[in-house]
Amino acid sequence: EVQLLESGGTVVRPGGSLRLSCEASGFKFDDYAMSWVRQAPGKGLEWVSHINWSGGLQRYVDSVRGRFTISRDNARNTLYLQMDNLGDEDTAFYFCAMKGVDNAFDMWGQGTLVTVSS
Amino acid sequence: QSALTQPASVSGSPGQSITISCTGTSNDVGAYDYVSWYQHHPGEAPKLLIFAVTRRPSGISARFSGSKSGNTASLTISGLQPEDEADYYCCSYAGDVTFVLGSGSKVSVL
């Protein structure tokens, strides 16, 4: 069964850092590019970051560029999101998603909640 | 990187058809045939319904169909069922390996 399981979400102080993980199973992880998508409370989904199969190409939405770093460890079948200098606006559920053919996200995890609060 | 515009809510009676619009720009929806649609029940993982504007993944009901004209894509749900109550999001490839999602539409079955 194809599965994505996010972890690492917690309460963090403004200006703090956090690393999210997304463990993949049931498919050949290093065949697929991956993205992080977030949903702030009461808001819609927002694409945050993307990484290609090898980790050699990363992209970010403007609001997180320079603060967030996406990476992956294909030996561990795990995707990461390092989040630094967190602000209130980063409070959200964070989902990892597997990009399949035709630039669609075939599979998503159930998300992990990040709360930025003093 | 502004969100694609969707109606906040769409409703219909069981058995009816509804259409959700998704308006972008000539840099995203209008530029690429890479529009996808997702169903999201809060607390669950979003689910892919449509990819490449019109194509359905294996296992997705034919009641879901997609189309595109210019900068606007649409999702039609035919034969509306109670279990279709959910949030729906469009997504477009926006070039240079970036993506933009829609503002989301809450579908209610009356």
Per the document, the length of chain A is 118
pLDDT band at residue B79 using 50, 70 and 90 as cut-offs: very high
Residues of A within 8 A of B96 (CB-CB) are 59
In this prediction, residue A101 carries a pLDDT of: 84
Tokens representing residue B71 in the block: 């900068």
Counting one residue from chain A and one from chain B, the pairs whose CB atoms sit within 8 A come to 78
Tokens representing residue A113 in the block: 């909640």
The Cα–Cα gap between A37 and A114 comes to 12
**What is the per-residue pLDDT across B8-22, written as a single tens digit (0 to 9) for each?**
999 999 999 999 999
Cβ of A108 within 8 Å of Cβ of B55? The answer is no
Instruction: Kindly list the distances between the CA atom of residue A92 and the CA atoms of A17, A38, B73, B93, B103, in Å, as whole numbers in the listed order.
Output: 14, 6, 27, 22, 15
Cβ of A59 within 8 Å of Cβ of B96? The answer is yes
Chain B, residues 7-36, CB within 8 A of chain A, namely 32, 34, 36
pLDDT of B1 over the 80 cut: no
**What is the per-residue pLDDT across B19-67, written as a single tens digit (0 to 9) for each?**
999 999 999 999 999 999 999 998 899 999 999 999 999 999 999 999 9
What is the full per-residue pLDDT of chain A (118 aa) written as tens digits?
999 999 999 999 999 999 999 999 999 999 999 999 999 999 999 999 999 999 999 999 999 999 999 999 999 999 999 999 999 999 999 999 999 989 999 999 999 999 999 9
Residue B57 and residue B77 in contact, taking contact as beta carbons nearer than 8 Å: no
**Stretch B65-72: mean pLDDT:** 98
In this prediction, residue B91 carries a pLDDT of: 98
Cα angle for residues B77, B81, B84 (degrees, 5° grid): 65
In this prediction, residue A76 carries a pLDDT of: 98
The Cα–Cα gap between B67 and B21 comes to 10
Cβ of A44 within 8 Å of Cβ of B55? The answer is no
In this prediction, residue B29 carries a pLDDT of: 97
Cβ of A50 within 8 Å of Cβ of B98? The answer is yes
Residue B19 half-sphere exposure toward CB, CA atoms < 13 A: 9
Q: Does B62 touch chain A (CB under 8 A)?
A: no
Phi-psi region of A102 (alpha: psi -120 to 50; beta: other; left: phi over 0): left
